[in-house]
A = this chain, B = another copy of it.
Amino acid sequence: MTAKEPAMPSDAPSAIGRPGSYSKGVARRQEILDRAIEVFQERGADGTSLRRIAGAIGVSHAALLHYFDSREQLLVAVYEHAEKRRDETVVDQPEPERGIDIMIEAANANIEVPGLVQLYSTLVAASLEADAGPSREYFTARFERVREDLEQRLRREQAEGRMRADVDVRHVAALIVAASDGLQIQWLLEPSVELQASLETFGRLLAP
């Protein structure tokens, strides 16, 4: 993809009524996201307008608005896309046994992707600033999904005697998610903070 390539504004005839145009649109969206991830890794999310992002990606501002309603929606899509790519790198490994180990694996994978934790933090902060909007909706749902998945795993671990039974799994699930998020931030600011070993210590606290 280069800057010379014609853009595809929402009223572009080429996108209307032809077979395959939908899947082409999807592919084009993926292309934009792939390139946008690189732009954010180079420049960071802070202070980058939709117009400047379009320029850096090499599409017109109108073309970008065809795929994303706002800068925030684009950033959320970039985050989702980057996370999906991250998951593809660990897909062949066997899933760890305990919930905490899954979170340790995810945290380690996160910090390997340049800019991912920064983008996550920027979007979480944006989700708190507004009562509604793309990041608010995305992160409210995402936190709930991750907590619930973890809760179910922890409940099984308790039932099978692999986790201490005297604590509420809802609390532990929220704590693990919080600890993992917070430690990635602390590690980015101070690499002597032991991300993996600290989460493993949490795992030891949960042993029966």
A interface residue numbers (CB < 8 A to B): 44-46, 117-118, 121-122, 124-130, 136, 139-140, 143-144, 147, 164, 166-168, 170-172, 174-175, 177-183, 185-186, 188-190, 193-194, 197-199, 201-202, 204-206
Flag if B167 contacts A201 (CB, 8 Å): yes
Instruction: Please name the residue on chain B nearest to A193 by beta carbon.
Output: B174
Docked Cα-Cα span, A175 to B46, in Å, equals 27
B129 touching A189 by the CB < 8 A rule? Answer: no
A162 to chain B, nearest CB (A): 15
A174 close to B189 (CB less than 8 A) = no
By secondary structure, the A interface counts as helix
Q: List 15 A-B contacts (CB under 8 A).
A: A121-B121, A128-B185, A128-B188, A128-B189, A143-B186, A144-B190, A167-B204, A174-B183, A174-B194, A174-B198, A175-B198, A175-B199, A178-B180, A178-B198, A180-B182
What are the residues of chain B within 8 A of A186 when measuring CB–CB? 143, 147, 174, 177-178
Contact of A45 among B129, B143, B175, B194 (CB under 8 A): B129
Q: Which of A125, A136, A140 neighbours the largest number of chain B CB atoms within 10 Å of its CB?
A: A125
Complex CA distance for A178 and B178, rounded to whole angstroms: 6
7 closest Cβ pairs, A-B complex: A178-B182, A171-B201, A121-B125, A171-B198, A44-B129, A205-B205, A46-B129
Name the B residues within 8 Å of A144 (CB-CB): 190
- With a cutoff of 8 Å between Cβ atoms, the chain B residues found around residue A205 in the complex are 164, 167, 205-206
